[in-house]
Amino acid sequence: MSSVETDPRLKAESVTIRPLGAFRKTVQVLGSKSYSNRYLALAALSGEPTVIEGALVCDDTRYLADALTRFGHVEVEVDAAAERITVTPTGRAMRAPEEDVYVGAAGTPIRILIAMAGHAEGVTVLTGTPRMQERPMGSLLEALPGLGVTAEAVKGNGSPPVRVTGPSFRGGSTRISGAVSSQFTSSLLINATRAEQDTEVHVIDELVSKPYVEMTIAALAEMGVVVERDGYTRFAVAAGQKLRGGTVQVEPDASGMSYFLAAAAVLGGTVTIPGIGKGSHQGDVGLVAALTRMGCTADIADDSITLTGGELRGIDIDMETMPDVVPTLAVVAAFAEGTTHISNIASLRIKECDRIAAVATELRKMGITVEEHPDALTITGGTPRGAVIDTYDDHRIAMCFAIAGLRTPGVVIKDPGCVAKSFPTFWQKLDTLAGTTSSTL
């Protein structure tokens, strides 16, 4: 077993965060979850042996790897210690698994798999946790028939379980809403690589979280497929393009990086994250600019990002392009002078939990004044006090409030194991700042 699997905090009822002073550290963050999921899906569609180096091995990627294996056309070997995922074709055709495919709370994988099941012979049923069975898939289900795929919500509510009948993903032209999730568009583009016909995807309204589609297009290009486009309104994948196999490298996860940037911000420390820099397509890198506006200083090089904390002040910021780091910035705002208004974040209502409500509730427990709006948060900075933090089975709530505990005594994080969804070594990485947690079993 790896040290990750034996970390007792992943099975603990809670961890107590120990406050820390200013620090100067280099932290190696695990690979990008978004890129790992995309490369894994593309490798399974390529028909070529593929090695994904620097891959994030977490709950989400394990669920996706298991699902791909169950279609029978590939074998997937996951090596957590080496941060490597190997995908090898079996030579068999894709066939629907006999039993339901369970993906836990993995949002990107299930949306990729719904379209991918259209390539498999037979009927595939995809499902997940109770929260997953509340998450909206309707826009994707409405778009798939235009490409030949019959897909329906089993309960008729637009949410999982979803039943898909294949093989039927022929390509063609379809229309999709981009207002709920960019993952729907990414799913169609990824799976268009195996279509018999050219595929066109027309986005009929405003596309949210645009950087994630940019990441999809970058991953496709890295593996040899060109996407033609008209801004964010039309995307086209010509049939006959060949996904390459071989080796692909995953850059560090910008969302995971955010917690260590926040630690430097609230403690006045300095952190360097190697392996990611100014060329990254990850929207969450935008947190660096947000923190500099709040009073930090930063150096973004080609292959590293360094941030040093300063006197923090509130800002007004639209975070539509970087929703996953909203909770991180919100915690930093709790320590800033003045008011921070974070807007255009309605998509957080349908994540692993309602993150707007969760952040507001837990910051109020810490004595911070928060105004909650349908698509925004207004946070008045102050002196947070210790509290027992509920995490709502949401990895990002656990990790961002752990950072609050680095400055505020008495912060206890319940259900610390939920970080395994995206960052299973989070508590170990946090320890590298100076031994910062203890667990209660």
The verdict on whether residue 396 carries a ligand-binding annotation is: yes
Burial 2-40 (b: 16+ CB within 10 A, else e): eebeebebbebebbbbbebeebebebebbbbbbbbbbbb
The verdict on whether residue 34 carries a ligand-binding annotation is: yes
The verdict on whether residue 282 carries a ligand-binding annotation is: no
The verdict on whether residue 385 carries a ligand-binding annotation is: no
Tell me how far apart the alpha carbons of residues 420 and 158 are, in angstroms, rounded to a whole number: 28
Burial 216-250 (b: 16+ CB within 10 A, else e): bbbbbebbbbebeeeebeebbbbeeeebebeebeb
What phi-psi label fits residue 249: left (phi over 0), alpha (psi between -120 and 50 degrees) or beta? Answer: beta
Amino acid at 4: V
Tell me how far apart the alpha carbons of residues 60 and 256 are, in angstroms, rounded to a whole number: 14
The verdict on whether residue 278 carries a ligand-binding annotation is: no
The verdict on whether residue 187 carries a ligand-binding annotation is: no
The verdict on whether residue 181 carries a ligand-binding annotation is: yes
324 is catalytic: yes
The verdict on whether residue 9 carries a ligand-binding annotation is: no
Those residues whose C-beta lies under 8 Å from the C-beta of residue 157, and which sit 6 or more positions away, are: none
Active-site position among 253, 324, 390, 394: 324
The verdict on whether residue 421 carries a ligand-binding annotation is: yes
The verdict on whether residue 186 carries a ligand-binding annotation is: no
The verdict on whether residue 428 carries a ligand-binding annotation is: no
The verdict on whether residue 304 carries a ligand-binding annotation is: no
Q: Is the separation of the CB atoms in 95 and 55 below 8 Å?
A: no
Instruction: Please report, in range form, the residues annotated as the binding site.
Output: 33-34, 38, 107, 135, 181-183, 209, 324, 351, 355, 396, 421
Instruction: Please report, in range form, the residues annotated as the binding site for phosphoenolpyruvate.
Output: 33, 107, 135, 183, 355, 396, 421
Residues carrying an active site annotation: 324
Instruction: Please report, in range form, the residues annotated as the binding site for 3-phosphoshikimate.
Output: 33-34, 38, 181-183, 209, 324, 351
